[in-house]
Amino acid sequence: MARLDAETALLTTFQKEYGDGLAKVLSDEFSRDLKKVILTTMR
């Protein structure tokens, strides 16, 4: 499934604001099963 332009813009803005991508930030914040669920959902 392709990302919508709005989703791409949001992810780009997040990375510019925080210096890391959303997936990286979430990966650092959560562990194991919850991290796997969140990152799989984001794809």
Q: How many CB atoms lie within 10 A of CB 31?
A: 9
32 Cβ neighbours under 8 A, 6+ residues apart: none
Amino acid identity, position 3: R
Residue 42: what pLDDT?
A: 76
8 A C-beta contact, residue 22 and residue 39:
no
9's tokens: 């813009």
Residue 19: what pLDDT?
A: 94
Measured distance CA(18)–CA(26) in Å, rounded: 12
Residue 17: what pLDDT?
A: 95
Convert the pLDDT of each residue in 1-43 to its tens digit.
577 899 899 999 999 999 999 888 888 888 888 888 887 887 7
